[in-house]
Amino acid sequence: MPILRVEIFEGRSAEKKRELVQGLTAETVRVLECGEASVNVIIDEVKKENWAVGGELYSDKLV
């Protein structure tokens, strides 16, 4: 039972998350030769104020 955990910034639409889950599932089935029903995908959405790189919060970056 593969479990894939994905952490992304919050704010993406349900359609984009659906597309991501379908793509990850299809590729996992292909590579691991397992059943689609056995693939679990967990999406954790993180606020930019709770994610940092290089000592700087993403919420402070000019993006």
Task: Give the active site residues.
Answer: 2
DSSP tag of 48 = G
* Distance from the first to the final alpha carbon of the chain: 38
Q: Quick one: which H or E segment has residue 18? A: helix 14-32
